[in-house]
Structure 1
Amino acid sequence: MDRYYIGESPEPGLRLELHNAHHFKRAFTKAADDWEIALSKECSSKEDTLYLERFIKRMKPESSSKK
C-alpha cells in the first residue's frame, strides 16, 4: 500500500500497535499490517493538534505524504 495514515493520539506507539493488530475493525488501516510512524509532531494543545491534522488532510494528494 502506498499511502499514509494521518491521525492524532496521545500515545502514537500504542496506536500504531493497535492499527497493525487490526484492533480497529472498520478503520482504513485494516488494509495493511505493516504501518510505521513516518513523522510524529508534538503540539502544545489539542486545538493545535486538530488544526495540524486537518491541514495535512486537506493537502493535495500529490503533495501529501504517502506510505
Structure 2
Amino acid sequence: MDFYLYILYSPKFDKFYIGYSADPWIRLEQHNSGTFHKFTSSYRPWELAAVFKIGRDRSLAMKMEKFIKKQKSRSLLEKLIDVNFVPEGFLAQLLRVPHVRD
C-alpha cells in the first residue's frame, strides 16, 4: 500500500492542514464530515491543495508530516502547493501527484 502526504486548505477560514494517508481523497471526505478530528472539524469545508506520493514506507510519511508541521511555516505550505515549486533537501523526495478525481 502506498502512502501520501496531503495538504488541505480551508478557503472560508484561510487555514492549512497537513496529514498523511493511504487514500487522501477518502481522508478529505472524513475531514469534511466526521467529528473525530478537533482541528479540522472547526474549519470546514476543506479542499485538497496538494498531494504527494511517499511510497510504501509509512514511517517516512510520518516523518515528512512531522518535519513540515515542525517548521510552523505557512510560507512553506504555500510553496508546496505551488505546482512550480521544486522541493529541496529532505523534502526533495516528495513526488507531486494529480489530485483531481472525476
**Which TM-score band applies after superposition, normalised by the shorter structure?**
0.7 to 0.9
Q: CA RMSD in A?
A: 1.8
Deviation at 1:41, TM superposition (A): 0.9
Length-normalised TM-score, structure 1: 0.79
Unaligned runs of 5+ in 2: 1-12, 79-102
Residues 3, 65 of structure 1: 8 Å contact kept? no
Q: How does 1:6-25 map onto structure 2 within 5 Å?
A: 6-21=18-33, 23-25=34-36
% of aligned pairs identical?
34
Q: Which has the higher contact order (CA 8 A, sep 6+)?
A: 1
29, 33, 37: which is aligned to 2:44? Answer: 33
Unaligned runs of 5+ in 1: none
Relative to its length, the structure with more strand (as a share) is 2
56, 65, 84: which is aligned to 1:53? Answer: 65
Length-normalised TM-score, structure 2: 0.55
**After TM superposition, where is structure 1 displaced by more than 4 Å over at least 4 residues in a row?**
none
Change (3 A) 1:56 1:13: same
Between Structure 1 and Structure 2, how many residues are aligned? 65
Deviation at 1:26, TM superposition (A): 4.3
